[in-house]
Structure 1
Amino acid sequence: MNQIKLEQQLRDFLEEDIGDGDITSQALPQGLKKTAYIFAKEDGVFVGASILKVGYSIINRHINVRLMKADGQFVEKGETVAEVTGAVDQLLLGERVFLNLIQRLSGIATLTKKSIEALNDPTIRVCDTRKTTPGLRMLEKYAVRCGGGFNHRRGLDQAVLLKENHLAAYGGIRQAVSRVKETLGHMTKIEVEITNKQELIDVIEAEVDVIMFDNYSSQQVKEQQPLVPSNIVTEVSGGISLKTIREFAGCGVNYISLGFLTHSYKAIDYSFLLK
């Protein structure tokens, strides 16, 4: 994770919440030091070590953060993940912002881990999509990795993905792939989304790098995957849920991309309490 970008984002998040100052805590005795405990209120995968370390260093570099859990580690209900020691008013400045992030990122990591366990096929990598919260993509994709998953492209500038609307605009698969190859260098991968067998034949003949089976059933994937040359990476996406992902075990694709990892997760609840 980019530490410079993380610090910039945390500064913005803190500024949004703090405004001109915490008027609730301003009457507290100056210099009153305490230790706060952050603990899980339910089972899940913890993500938030860097948020606490970097976040509290922004507020005051003398605040001490002691971590009991590393990112990606499983935490049980009631377990303490971190102790934070410093002036009480400064500890409280970051409480809500940091908990908000930790809860959401832990939820994504936990859902990713559950998805991998439900699939139960180590030959297929579970990855995310671009269906992330605006402004939080770096953090949400990091949380997917903490849960054992992999990242799809981070943005539009990282790889070519020709979807239904692109193919319509270019005039078809062959025209789209040909045009893209003319304008891009050899280091940029090209993926094409397909919806039927004829499109599969077209993309194979166009010599793309990655094929996405879009909204395919597991049976359809199993029928068409053997037609794909071994040098082309395959992916299935669309319409897959935690309940149905197991159906795709053994289907032969390299990746399953899941939008629900970052748009339909349940946050893992944490509490922040002063000793």
Structure 2
Amino acid sequence: MTVSYPPSLPRHLVEKAVRAAFEEDLGQAGDITSQATIAPDATAVARINARTGGVICGIECALAAFAMIGPGLEVEVLAGDGSVVDAGAGVMEVRGNARALLAAERTALNFLTHLSGIATLTRRYVDQTEDSRAHICCTRKTTPGLRALEKYAVRCGGGRNHRFGLDDAILIKDNHIAVAGGVGAAIAAARAFAGHLVAIEVEVDTLLQLEEALAAQANAILLDNMDDDTLAQAVAIAAGRASLEASGNVTLDRVAAIARTGVDYISTSRITAAADPLDLGLDITIA
């Protein structure tokens, strides 16, 4: 039996993202609206609720926001990252100093709604492929500065991560091939350069290029913008000699058909770049 551990985020990345968000939102004077209208010692109880159902992600960011804003806030997590919640379900309860609570509200919600939206859309893609061998993967099309968080959200939604950057795997794309002089030449040059632990993937547009990539022993081959029949042919030609990744025009309506072709991975930027925020709201009462 294979053990599957839940995804996690390094603490320093969470704190860095939250600190940047506070610097942007609070500026040099802080929350002047709360300072002007609320007594310094006023307290309140707030509850973050899901207004639509989905997959929760971003709890660590919200916790960091409420902790970093200052002392005096107690937080209870009602639904952890990766949890599926229905509309109306509670996600988090916060109690304590009202000024601090309101100053951290938007930062906490921004992370929660954005990352939960990614996790929720990813889960929808994963659900469409559950009867296949294919895994849903993200791409490098992420919000600058938030890549690690958004890729974490993909994992919370049941997806997998592609490379994190240009430095952790070699992906030879069409422009590299054009300059290098062909698929085989590009792979040979990459293999001569790469360390033994660096995977080499190459993007191909045609079955002829696929044959070249297989002959050059690429570790993985990205099948770019191929229709379903061509993808199925590619799977038959490869016959397990390399991992195959389908990419391009991967819509929610089409992804199940792509998975049925037998590819190993399906990558799409839609789950990070086009996910709608999950509708979460903070409802406050006077303590």
Contact 1:120 1:249 in 2 (8 A): no
Q: Which residue of 2 aligns with 1:200?
A: 210
AA of the residue aligned to 1:149: G
Given candidates 99, 113, 121, the residue that maps to 2:123 is 113
Given candidates 24, 38, 60, the residue that maps to 2:33 is 24
- In 1, Cα distance between the equivalents of 2:181 and 2:138? 29
Identity %: 37
Secondary structure of 1:26's counterpart equals helix
Distance apart, 1:249 and its partner CA: 2.9
> Is structure 2 residue 131 aligned with structure 1 residue 125?
no
- In 2, Cα distance between the equivalents of 1:247 and 1:171? 34
Unaligned runs of 5+ in 2: 1-8
Contact 1:52 1:65 in 2 (8 A): no
> Is structure 2 residue 107 aligned with structure 1 residue 97?
yes
- In 2, Cα distance between the equivalents of 1:233 and 1:220? 16
> Is structure 2 residue 256 aligned with structure 1 residue 246?
yes
Q: CA RMSD in A?
A: 1.2
Per-residue CA deviation, residues 93-118 of structure 1 (Å, 9 max, x unaligned), is 11111111111111111111111112
Secondary structure of 1:140's counterpart equals helix
- In 1, Cα distance between the equivalents of 2:98 and 2:53? 28
Q: How does 1:182-197 map to 2 (within 5 A)?
A: 182-197=192-207
Q: Which residue of 1 aligns with 2:235?
A: 225
Per-residue CA deviation, residues 115-166 of structure 1 (Å, 9 max, x unaligned), is 1112333411111111111111111111111111000001110100000011
- In 1, Cα distance between the equivalents of 2:225 and 2:241? 23
- In 2, Cα distance between the equivalents of 1:82 and 1:194? 46
Q: Which residue of 1 aligns with 2:53?
A: 43
Q: Which residue of 2 aligns with 1:263?
A: 273
Count residues in correspondence.
Answer: 275
- In 2, Cα distance between the equivalents of 1:6 and 1:172? 42
> Is structure 2 residue 254 aligned with structure 1 residue 236?
no
> Is structure 2 residue 18 aligned with structure 1 residue 10?
yes
Secondary structure of 1:156's counterpart equals coil
Contact 2:51 2:280 in 1 (8 A): yes
Unaligned runs of 5+ in 1: none
Distance apart, 1:42 and its partner CA: 0.8
> Is structure 2 residue 156 aligned with structure 1 residue 146?
yes
- In 2, Cα distance between the equivalents of 1:222 and 1:240? 15
After TM superposition, where is structure 1 displaced by more than 3 Å over at least 4 residues in a row? none
Per-residue CA deviation, residues 34-79 of structure 1 (Å, 9 max, x unaligned), is 1111101111111121012122111124411101001011111111
Q: TM-score with structure 2 length normalisation?
A: 0.93
Q: TM-score with structure 1 length normalisation?
A: 0.97
Distance apart, 1:214 and its partner CA: 0.5
Distance apart, 1:229 and its partner CA: 4.3
- In 1, Cα distance between the equivalents of 2:66 and 2:256? 41
Given candidates 31, 34, 55, the residue that maps to 2:44 is 34
AA of the residue aligned to 2:113: Q
